[in-house]
Structure 1
């Protein structure tokens, strides 16, 4: 089958996260029609997660191509670039305070970024409540997308922006994410200035990282007076069940954590014990390094679907850069197949280099800060 032109093609994006929405926005800016399918029931059906730092060399570049950079800076928190490294006693080892007007890596809440991108799209672009079950059809296309509600859609290009456990990935690659051996437990804190003033002072306006070699904490300020703390441990993936606990057993989990972190100072333990609400278990997975696949002119992957890595501040930035480059390749190519080939020649080497650099990076999150720590993390955010 001859590969269709992008202007005439049926293009489907799976996943309405930052990557999928950025790709859709850039395509629409250039007059190319696209449909986005997402499993969420509607826009606000779940919490979108914590804060993101968008880098000027990738995430911000993608927003510039989307025509949304000015609106981004109207929402971004420049003060969120502050970063503290501490030891388990609370002693500050390193402190990055952003210069006045510094814009290298400002913070924005995930939900705010998603809403910004959604507002920029033509009404009806995103179809909610559409959970992909499988991708079938020949490599040259067209492909058939089958959803769990029994419906199906035929498409000339399916773009997998559906995250770590992508259903689109299976159409071109047998690779599956592997547990890194490190798990995050997310804790939420509300009304920081009034309810948690000591923690507000300790963390500052941005983020704080503390580790002792076996365990760690990463505290991250969000907008609206909120904060999230990621309790980082080297544990089995099913560690909560192995302790005879359930994820909703906040009291039991808290007691275990306080025992594990008993050598840490009382002020640090407040990041574990003073949270508002339940904990959220977030084990870390990564794809094999490097992750490559045989080219298919009817399937493209971006973001975590293509190159899931440890959460060292690069994930959303790479996803948005992937998205912008794929969209621009479609704009500038005469066929869908040629566009996917152009995109992969750039994306695959870049993601392989980054994945090799960050391989084992989950363990570094637990390492006591050393002289090269900030260079590794790039002052980025898990």
Structure 2
């Protein structure tokens, strides 16, 4: 007999240590795991099926909130912008008034102020001075003849009563005396004429003003055909000759204020329109408005300048610059149409200031206009408008 050898049969197996303890401890864990998995499946199924029957109602559309305003209409000054040249208001060209000659002295320079009648240049008058002295001598001769003729007439008249002189002799001596007096007057007139001619040799300023140009030098021979020797701005008054279109000239009146800014400068000068062109250039379709300006060294005749002319007033809507949009089709704004939908509205802008832009066409002032965020909107889009007050 073999003792100690395990016997194996069809219903027997090798018993391992712990078998009797492990078998009952695994069973609850397995069952618990199955239950947990089943619960998770039930919960997942319930969650997937439970969303569908929930009725959340109609979806709420998220509309953009946009600030809008009703601009109304305001009275604003109508400003006309123009460009043009600066010039003397009354420019006086000065040349030779007399017979001319050699210039001996030039007494003024451009930019210098002169008075009425002041000598600007002198011309040699040596020959003319001798002529005047000769005429003065002739006057003295004629006066001597006239004095002698008067004496002879007086003596003859004293002898008439004695019968020594006939009336015919008296008449002859009276005629001689009268002729001598006439010769004196002729000589005096000739001397005055010569002196006036000599005085015209001096080139003088006809009015007080500012010397603009000088085109003569000492030693130059001048005559009445020499052209303009000096140019003077009467009273130093300047003007801007602003070029304006036909439409801008409409409604422009004498006396309206203007601001003139020379090119290259930042200072503006106040002036007033003193003349509006009565005709239009058929080629350019423009006219000239002449703006009077007080003298200032920065206002140089011949220079270029820009002007802002206040030409009446208009009653138009005004909007902040943020409300104005632009594209290849021009300027436009967005207005709120029926159903709070955005509608594009083409406009034409007028005067632009630091605070507002005038709308001359496209709006009547009663529309609800989008103030900002226009770049993020599109025509037909629905918005939630928030009305804001405009500064009026």
TM-score higher than 0.5: no
TM-score, normalised by the number of residues in structure 2: 0.21
User: 1 or 2, which has the higher strand percentage?
Assistant: 2
Of the two, which has the highest radius of gyration? 2
User: 1 or 2, which has the higher helix percentage?
Assistant: 1
